[in-house]
Amino acid sequence: MGEICLDNLSIKELHETFKATFGRETTVKDKQWLKRRIAMGLTNSCDVSTSSFIIKDNKLVSKGGEGSCNKEAIEDQAVKPVDGSGKESSLNPGSKMEDQQIVSSERLRTCSKDYSCADEDPLKEQRNAKRIRKPTRRYIEELSEVESKEHGGKSIASVKNLGLGLMSSRSNTRPVRIASSNRITLRLDSLGGSGVQIPYVSRVRRSRPRKNVKALMEFHPNGIGMAAKLVKEAVDVHSSEPNRESEGIVLKAGSAPEQIQQQGQNMEPKNKDPSVYTPDDNPATVRAVKGGVRRKHHRAWTLSEVMKLVEGVSKYGAGRWSEIKRLAFASYSYRTSVDLKDKWRNLLKASLAQTPPDSRMGARKHASSVPIPMPVLLRVRELAEMQSQFPPNLSSSKLTGSAGRNVNETRSGYL
DNA sequence: TTTAGGG
DNA sequence: CCCTAAA
């Protein structure tokens, strides 16, 4: 019971799932470890209410009721440092993924240190030791999202103490959240005038100025547009380079993506208090003066997010994005209802195109994007198919789907 | 404001 | 992801 049914997956599949879940690859070859890891990644979102997904072979079964949150998996993880086992060689959890170089030394530390933070300390150590490796911004950003859930908008208040009067610029200031460790991160969308940003953590996103052309054009007459742009860029350059070392987690770490990753996974259930790193928005758009709207940083969808989305759709119906956003995605500050919609659209497309030919061609050209587990795709297709038939009944929306429906993966002999 | 679609 | 038309 404890173990999720990932057992039937091959190492390769586990790797894929792992990547899909955490957005990064892993070289760990230990099946057990992978399973635990994935299990956590998937269930750490225990509140997915009604059902937790279980992947079994190619079937996706929803396990109803019981708060089956595999605490076990997590505990196990903590105890993993048991080198006694013969498979120690593969025991390098979130350590450094591809860097098996420092492995040994780190492993030792892992043992001596407190289990709970086994993954963390070693990192610091090894980092000083040899690691110089470049940050790899992408990972940091994408993994930084912690799937912590539910934390009402309670954290919004205190922000005022910071003397940020500008957040009012847009009556609808996106809920500002306070990140765990005394670190405050906020994002003001001041599209209107002020557009000043508080570089508390100077996490401005950098990217190409892109086409603010339109905006610029309008102000051009006064040359202000240009000025604005320049300013914007300037700000950008200055505050951006330090990629978003989000929450003071990366602190001393030169960058090691692993750390972020860690935090997400290791976070023990009990420590889940809302204050722990709020997956706040910020990486999002930042505006400087008029029209410095950068694209939101691309957030790779993790498997768990996808699953939440799928479940959300199954419960509230496709199209009720705002609902799904509020309920199933309450914790993900980024991911707007529109994002959900878009993602669903993509999932749908993927599910329909499922396993077409793949023939000899270099199949996975851009395999970089998380491969979505077949089961999930099947579910997506099912839901779409089904929902198109029975337009979501507002009355029984909650009962629709999730309740008693089975996952009849319709023959789909594929794979 | 939220949806649906096109870009 | 962004943007926009509709609702």
Determine whether the distance from the CB of A348 to the nearest atom of strand C is below 7 Å.
no
Print the domain residue range for A187: 153-255
Residue where one domain finishes, among candidates A144, A177, A196? A144
Residue A176 parent element (H or E): none
Instruction: Indicate the SS3 state at residue A71.
Output: helix
Determine whether the distance from the CB of A296 to the nearest atom of strand C is below 7 Å.
yes
d(CA A263, CA A277): 9
DSSP A390: S
Check residue A124 and give left, alpha or beta (phi > 0: left; psi -120 to 50: alpha): alpha
Determine whether the distance from the CB of A321 to the nearest atom of strand B is below 7 Å.
yes
Looking at the fold, whether A21 and A78 belong to one and the same domain comes out as yes
Residue where one domain finishes, among candidates A125, A144, A163? A144
Looking at the fold, whether A132 and A162 belong to one and the same domain comes out as no
In a domain, A21, yes or no: yes
In a domain, A326, yes or no: yes
The pLDDT tens digits of the residues spanning A165-206 come to: 333 333 333 333 333 333 333 333 333 333 333 333 333 333
**Phi, psi at residue A348, to the nearest 5°?**
-60, -45
Q: Which of residues 264-293 of A touch strand B (CB under 7 A)?
A: none
In a domain, A273, yes or no: no
Looking at the fold, whether A110 and A61 belong to one and the same domain comes out as yes
In sequence order, the β-bridge partners of residue A53 are: A62
Q: Which of A257, A258, A215 is nearest to A110 (CA)?
A: A258
Asked if A383 contacts A312 with a C-beta cutoff of 8 angstroms, the reply is no
In a domain, A284, yes or no: no
Looking at the fold, whether A30 and A100 belong to one and the same domain comes out as yes
Pairing mode of beta strands A177-178, A59-63: unpaired
Q: What is the CATH number of the domain that holds A345?
A: 1.10.246.220
Nucleotide showing the shortest C1' distance to residue A291 CA: C2
Nucleotide showing the shortest C1' distance to residue A170 CA: B1
The pLDDT tens digits of the residues spanning A364-375 come to: 566 666 778 887
Determine whether the distance from the CB of A342 to the nearest atom of strand C is below 7 Å.
yes
Q: Which of A100, A99, A70, A288 is nearest to A193 (CA)?
A: A288
The pLDDT tens digits of the residues spanning A291-303 come to: 566 778 888 999 8
Return all residues near A350 (Cβ < 8 A) that are at least 6 apart.
A372, A377, A380
Residue where one domain finishes, among candidates A90, A111, A144? A144
Which pLDDT value is given to residue A134?
43
Which pLDDT value is given to residue A387?
78
Looking at the fold, whether A88 and A171 belong to one and the same domain comes out as no
DSSP A145: -
Number of structural domains in chain A? 3
Which pLDDT value is given to residue A355?
66
In which residue ranges of chain A is pLDDT below 50?
1-6, 14, 34, 38, 43-290, 394-415
Number of CB atoms found within 10 A of residue A285's CB: 18
Residue A236 parent element (H or E): helix A224-240
Residue A54 parent element (H or E): strand A52-56
Nucleotide showing the shortest C1' distance to residue A295 CA: C1
Return all residues near A81 (Cβ < 8 A) that are at least 6 apart.
A91, A107, A110, A111, A115, A118
In a domain, A262, yes or no: no
In a domain, A315, yes or no: yes
In a domain, A43, yes or no: yes
Looking at the fold, whether A338 and A399 belong to one and the same domain comes out as yes
Nucleotide showing the shortest C1' distance to residue A343 CA: C1
